[in-house]
Structure 1
Amino acid sequence: MKIAKVEAFLLSCPLPQPLKLTFWNGERTILKRDAMILRVTSDTGARGYAPGPAHERAAHEIRDVIGPFLVGQDPLQWRSFRFQGDLEMTKLYHAVEIAVMDLAARHAGKPLSELAGGRVRDTIKLYGSGGMYQPPEKYAAEAKAVQDMGFPAYKYRPALGPDEDLRTVKLMREATGPKFGIMIDAHSWWRMGDKSYSFEQIAALAKEIAKYGPVWLEEPLPPDDHAAYRKLKALNLLPIATGEHEQDEAGFLDLIQTRAANYIQMDVCCQGGFAMGRRVCDAISRQNLKFAFHSWGTVLEVLAAAHFGVCFPESVVEWLEYPCHGNFGRKGMYPFPLADEILLKPLDIRNGILTVPDAPGLGVDVDERVIEKYPWIPGPWSYFKIHSPPETIAVTGDHSVKWVEAK
């Protein structure tokens, strides 16, 4: 068997109308959500799939560089491939590699998790992820809705100013009770122009938030400032999470070896693939820290990550992010129906626990009808407008191309 074709399909799912979300010192506008399906086809017609980073540069590099490298090779020998490229190209290659592994696993009649290292369990715990720039009362209502869906925890994104951010946590705890998990994704706190929070404000706010027992406080500081994370963690106020913006393995290892956070986050589909993910998780295990997935795309991304996650015990890989969109009558964020429609069958999720399929490969087939149903719409999917100092930032892709100054 040989690889005959490598394809990257860019898809766009426009919102019914632009969604404008107000935060402290600015406004975010969401126009659409994008996705990429990677498909590797053999000379026998067999196919393997994976999610990819949804931006045009990635699609061009797969077509012009990665595809030609893979065509003609035996997918069963994927471990022996020696692709060489710069950092971003290598990360992209390892995303495509997951599709090659899916193809190889299907041929072998084994689940993808067996090629990812061998599963040690069949299930993984999910948290419902939503909460994008809204009044405290709406955050609380959404947290309760996610709890009612059966998820054991909820993550939201605060950016309302310190007082309102604190009131949000209080209302959510009152709405959900003492045992429900709350994750706080504070990635806006340090990029709100003149109203960005100082380290002292963040430490004071974290001290007050800690009274409500959150699972973690995520990315409250610029992600490249590891020294600031170590300083905040040393205060022992509450668990800290970061990692989803690390550019390379050395960055992850520095976070881990210096114990700069309690939870190390990684998007295995965008930040280096399964092989690097395993090295990161092994280092996390040695330091008695925990790994938590970043997974902000479709259920195809959730499924691929889950196959990797069950190769480790829950003491190492604890949480998998499940984006909660307002699809098909469900309560959640803005609608993103492509996120669910990308698979032919829904994932087996009960009470917030995902049972990872044991059928060959990913275990669930991609519904290729979405390729025609959701044609690519060029341009950024979101804009951030900062009031002071005036600045507009366009967001394209997710983790490979992000926070690009609008021209």
Structure 2
Amino acid sequence: MKIKSIESFILCDKLKESFSFSQWEYSERRICIVKVTSDTGHVGWGEGYGPASIIKAGIENLTPFLVGQNPLHIETIWNIMYRRTLDYARRGILVSAISAIDVALWDLKGKIMEQPVYLLLGGKKRDSIVPYATGLYFTKNKDLGDALAKEAKEYSDLGYKAIKMKVGLSIEEDIEHVRMVRGAIGPDIDLMIDANHAYNLREAIKLARAVEPYNIYWFEEPLSPEYYEQYSELRTKTTIPIAGGECEYLRYGFQTLLSSKSVDIIQPDICATGGLTEAKRIATLASVYGAEIVPHTWGTGIAFSAAMHFVTNIDCLPGRLKEPICYIEHDRTENGLREELTNSRMAYENGAIKIDDTVGLGFTVNEDALEKYKIDKTHELWT
């Protein structure tokens, strides 16, 4: 059995309304997906997180070394990709290219072996997973606080047990928005805040202490991912758990993050940090340090399905009679790619997503949607 072909596609969806976070504004959603086909006719799909055209170029650079390989030998193929990029891309966008291919290979392997990927990863640890709604971005609404509170209430009415909101406009505005959102959803919904590294240490301490009374479940990326020691210091200055890691790559980056005692919760993005193969290694590393793990998920149904199978398999620490909640990120922002590209039997009921036993990563790709959103551009906008 051999890999016959590897094809990559850039997909783009223009948004009806732009939204922003502390760093950038989005006017479109753009993603690179990859299709790996075996000589048996089986197909696997993957996705890379980051600038789509650069990921596509990375996939095309790796393809000559992979065609002809046995697709079932995933770790062997992963090591070929890693060694081919080690000298000049130990971190960053080429790791996203590796990730996309790796996710596709797991999907392909599941289909070839007629098994769900979570089983190939080691087995099912839970039958359902609790999604938290990611939304509450900044818009040009004149009454932004009211709009955020209304959006949060809509998520809670849909049954979400946790919601993540953006902060990073200013400390004063953030405090007021957190107050309004907490007031809208009540005390029983877990509320996370995400600054996308908008603040320096002094500002992050000030904000964290100010919002502690609102029972914040975690404070995500309060600081630049470069400042491990500052993260470690922040953890000693607030009772709010600190989360981060979507900007880390490979187990080596997470080793630095964990050994520096920077975070309570790590958030690897499977489509950026090395794929499912490397995510499994990162999960083992997290267990050594006793850190919680909640993967960052942003993109299409391919990325979400990969995260679902990963979370289905991981151990939630600590072990105890009544297992703690294992969360998964569920992006709720406008995204036609997420809504139309894939079809899945995973069902959302009573605030949880039930895992099914469909082979591979559990989705089919809508070829009409692929054609609808596919573009061929050599330039790239960061999305």
Settle same-fold status: TM greater than 0.5. Answer: yes
- 1:156 Cα deviation after fit: 1.4
- 1:32 Cα deviation after fit: 0.9
Cα–Cα, structure 1 residues 91 and 336, in superposed 2: closer, same or farther, change >3 Å? closer
Query: Does the 8 Å contact 2:8/2:32 carry over to 1?
Result: yes
Structure 2 residue corresponding to 1:76, chosen from 68, 72, 75: 72
Q: What is the CA–CA distance in structure 1 between the aligned matches of 2:97 and 2:84, rounded to whole Å?
A: 10
Q: What is the CA–CA distance in structure 2 between the aligned matches of 1:172 and 1:366, rounded to whole Å?
A: 36
Query: Does the 8 Å contact 1:158/1:188 carry over to 2?
Result: no
Match of 2:214 in 1: 212
Q: What is the CA–CA distance in structure 1 between the aligned matches of 2:261 and 2:300, rounded to whole Å?
A: 31
- 1:93 Cα deviation after fit: 1.9
Query: Does the 8 Å contact 2:208/2:238 carry over to 1?
Result: no
Match of 1:125 in 2: 130
- Aligned to 1:365, the other structure's residue is in SS state strand
Amino acid at match of 1:35: I
Cα–Cα, structure 1 residues 377 and 252, in superposed 2: closer, same or farther, change >3 Å? same
- 1:302 Cα deviation after fit: 0.7
Cα–Cα, structure 1 residues 255 and 5, in superposed 2: closer, same or farther, change >3 Å? same
Structure 2 residue corresponding to 1:136, chosen from 139, 142, 145: 145
TM-score norm. by structure 2 comes to: 0.88
Query: Does the 8 Å contact 1:39/1:49 carry over to 2?
Result: yes
- Aligned to 2:267, the other structure's residue is in SS state strand
CA RMSD of aligned residues (A): 2.1
Cα–Cα, structure 1 residues 162 and 236, in superposed 2: closer, same or farther, change >3 Å? closer
Match of 2:8 in 1: 8
Q: Give CA deviations for 1:99-141 in whole Å, capped at 9, x if unaligned.
A: 1121111111110112223222222221000111142221111
Match of 1:30 in 2: 26
Match of 1:153 in 2: 162
Match of 1:403 in 2: none
Query: Does the 8 Å contact 1:340/1:346 carry over to 2?
Result: no
Match of 1:393 in 2: none
Is 277-286 or 225-234 further displaced after alignment? 277-286
- 1:61 Cα deviation after fit: 2.4
Match of 1:368 in 2: 367
Report matched runs for 1:344-355 at 5 Å.
Answer: 344-345=343-344, 347-355=346-354
Match of 2:322 in 1: none
Q: What is the CA–CA distance in structure 2 between the aligned matches of 1:266 and 1:58, rounded to whole Å?
A: 18
- Which sections of structure 1, spanning at least 5 residues, go unmatched? 191-197, 326-334, 382-395, 398-407
Q: What is the CA–CA distance in structure 1 between the aligned matches of 2:19 and 2:358, rounded to whole Å?
A: 42
Q: What is the CA–CA distance in structure 2 between the aligned matches of 1:257 and 1:367, rounded to whole Å?
A: 43
Q: Number of paired residues?
A: 362
Match of 2:108 in 1: 103
Amino acid at match of 2:128: T
Amino acid at match of 1:324: R
TM-score norm. by structure 1 comes to: 0.83
Cα–Cα, structure 1 residues 274 and 206, in superposed 2: closer, same or farther, change >3 Å? same
Query: Does the 8 Å contact 1:252/1:280 carry over to 2?
Result: yes
Query: Does the 8 Å contact 1:12/1:377 carry over to 2?
Result: no
Structure 1 residue corresponding to 2:316, chosen from 314, 317, 332: 314
Match of 1:181 in 2: 190
Q: Give CA deviations for 1:177-202 in whole Å, capped at 9, x if unaligned.
A: 11101110011523xxxxxxx42232
Match of 1:388 in 2: none
Q: What is the CA–CA distance in structure 2 between the aligned matches of 1:267 and 1:148, rounded to whole Å?
A: 28
Q: Give CA deviations for 1:207-244 in whole Å, capped at 9, x if unaligned.
A: 11111101101111111100000000012431111111
- 1:306 Cα deviation after fit: 0.9
Match of 2:358 in 1: 359
Query: Does 2:280 align with 1:265?
Result: no
Query: Does the 8 Å contact 2:128/2:355 carry over to 1?
Result: yes
Report matched runs for 1:36-75 at 5 Å.
Answer: 36-53=32-49, 54-63=51-60, 65-75=61-71
Q: What is the CA–CA distance in structure 1 between the aligned matches of 2:284 and 2:329, rounded to whole Å?
A: 20
Match of 1:338 in 2: 337
